[in-house]
Structure 1
Amino acid sequence: MSNRSAGWRRSVLLSICGLLSTAASAQNLTNGQINTVSARLAEAALQSWELGTRSQTILELNATAYSVFSNTFLPPPEVIPSELANDNVMAPFFSIARQIVSNRTRLNNNTVGPQPLMPDGSAADPASNGICVLIANWTGQDAGELDYEGAARDQLDYLLTRVPKTGDGAISHRESQVQLWNDFVYMVPPFLAYYGVMTRNRTLVAESYNQIKLYRNYLRDDRQGMWQHILLGSSGNDPGFWSTGNGWAAAGMLRVLATIRQSEYANTFRNEQRDLGNWVREIHSSIYRHLDETNIFTNYADQPPTASGNFYDAASTALLAATVYRAALMLDQYTYLPYAERSRSTLSNSNSTSSSNETSTFDNYEHFTSDGWLRPVVNPHSYGQEGSESAEGQAFVVQMHAAWREWVQDGSKGANTAMNLKLKKLIMGLALGAVLVLVL
């Protein structure tokens, strides 16, 4: 055997062993650390979409019986299950609904009729709290002293009758002008779908799908496959492929798909469910090809970190990874699990020698500050600038953890498929290298 051939075989074995070792040694955030991340989220969530995202994150992590991603048929239980009631885990969730509805009259100057749940320049973001308010009403919170039902109805009527629309019916993300943001898909369609299921209004369920279809028609770039961030406005447009926005769109579609699947309308919306699953895969297939060796997305996925307004962003990375785990669980889509696993492992990696499985601290973490803030992150209030403390970034970490946890509990389906894909690519590359060695 030649020295070159022996060297090639040794290289193959070392590379495969290295790949398997990397998979085996991936670090996970502990329950204590997730609680720390959640505590920072609670401190930072003040704006309408931050509160809405936090409320959904609470369900996905701690009250899965009320998450649309559970196997619970909708509508959910009217009586809070004892294991949730005894531990009071839904108290922060209902506190958000209570705060919004109790403050509504004071903040809206006693306005009656169609109106958002909170004053906001965005027509869409307040609706992200709609499901929280609907569940508070469904479970009889505050013994009827707060009009949760009326607040949710006013929010719905506001979207359908007061917010400007495109000529073909796409509801504007902004109140002052017709302008479409890909963030909208996380804020409004899940509320429409959930409201429709809770009130047995099939038309609303259909409209949740229709809004996503319209937004995709406007924002998806046929060449890149990703969704552009903001279009159609007279000013303030952003045609770039904002990573967080593509994550918002994928996550919103998965929530609508899950809502329909767990409802009485599952059998009559089969084509719509298929479309939603395919559209999620479109985003994954187009955006993950831009993930570089750092395993962290840049703020605009197709641009290098040195480009103007660009930098590495751990927030969008966590959100997109969460959608990959959800797609694996719901749709048997496994292709991008290796990418999500690498990103999750990178975000969870520490140079600390601590071996405690319940530590709540972040010592020597590259992607977390010592008190649990994710980094680096886009400024959630100025999407072209790097920030430091992001409520949505904290939520995305928890959502990633919750989705990964459910994927593991379900048997890590697709993990072998993902590993086989990586091995196949590695071996093909090494085989090509071996041919070149032998030829030379």
Structure 2
Amino acid sequence: MRQKESPMLSALLYTLVAISLFLTVRILSTPSTIGLSQNSTTSVSANLTNTKKIEDVFAPIRMIVHTDKRIYLTQTPEIMKSVNELLSENLLDGIEDVSTYTQEEFDALILTPTQLEIRFAEGVPLELLSRYFTNLQEDYYDDTIDRIILNSKEEDPVYLLNDETKQVFTVARPDNVLQPLVDLYEGQKDAYMEVESYESESAISYLPKEAITIQKLVYLVEKPSNSYFIDLLFKDTTDLKDNGNDEFVSYSDNISELSIHKETGQLSYYRNILDAEELPDYRLIRDSFHEIKMLDNWTNPFYFYGFDEGTDNVYYRRYVNGYPIFGEVDYGLTRIHMSGSSMTELQFLTQVIQTPLTNRREDVTLLSGTDLLAALDAGGYSSQEIQMIALGYDWTFSEESNRLVNLTPKWFIQIDGSWKSLDQWIGGTETEADDSGL
């Protein structure tokens, strides 16, 4: 007797056949990525991507509150995010006036009591801060500012300062712009530390009045697969040459070359560009951001860190908990060389911190500002030689595994354009427990 076929069984069989055919077509139509796979021993995450926003990268990094007698500073990321948002909401009109101050006038303006000071890591072109304005005049697009000052007199303008040129731009103050910023101090005073001003080579800066304790951090690190960077940096991967060796993953075509250090994940890229058009600085900087915004997958704050007019190099730096990352090898720095609107060179670390190992944290106490300057002076470095001082993290890979990174808080000092830790400059130690007696 012939068995009657079940309609449900037939439908199931047809569905399975359709799925099988679909998967076969997908497999045959997908290009092979053999040879472009991850060669590093660090962990890999296929979804480790983070597209950056221009308003987060060209943003202030600290706020300083000048009271009638004392000065307080914060660089807490959550507070600075609110500062950035408030400046974007309370829009300024166009530039009303610009003056060049003497050094004494410039310093006096910065240190005026009862005012707020908002600082950027480096001078930012005004065009890249145009979100703060209703109508920024094009004549000022290429001018840069390092800080914004709002004093307690509501009738006074907003001051935009350039530390290098001593130019001061003035803008009419919007209504009710000061109080929301003051509230960020009044409501979270424990996020601010008392600081004292000091005069560096170019401008007034601030150091903590007392010794400061910050935790050393340990993280697991990850990086996207090498094919992720290959796909973004090469338009056509069919004719790539594999130049890799025991130390580097390396690929090239007729006009460009990519190498990634297998152990550290440091990426270097070069592209040959001919006959690039001349562009204003702000355009070079903006275009460099569009080159890096998808390549670097750092999920913590990432800020513009300067532009070299002589070389057309644009710099960005990684931050953690409001502090910049440095190192004997400067793993926190991203360098992009622009030729016109195109990137010709790129260097940055592909590895990113993902998972904190909280049980490995430990407190590190660093010198106060006074003791730090005394240590530098004893080592032969006067404040007039110092370009900048930053409290930051020293990135080092753990000896027990290249999947672990140590972030150790240290004082870093820039002299003659070079960033080094205090112990590198003077050969000592940075903690209060130093035998030097500081």
TM-score calculated relative to the size of structure 2: 0.23
Structure with larger Rg: 2
TM-score calculated relative to the size of structure 1: 0.23
- Greater fraction helix: 1
- Greater fraction strand: 2
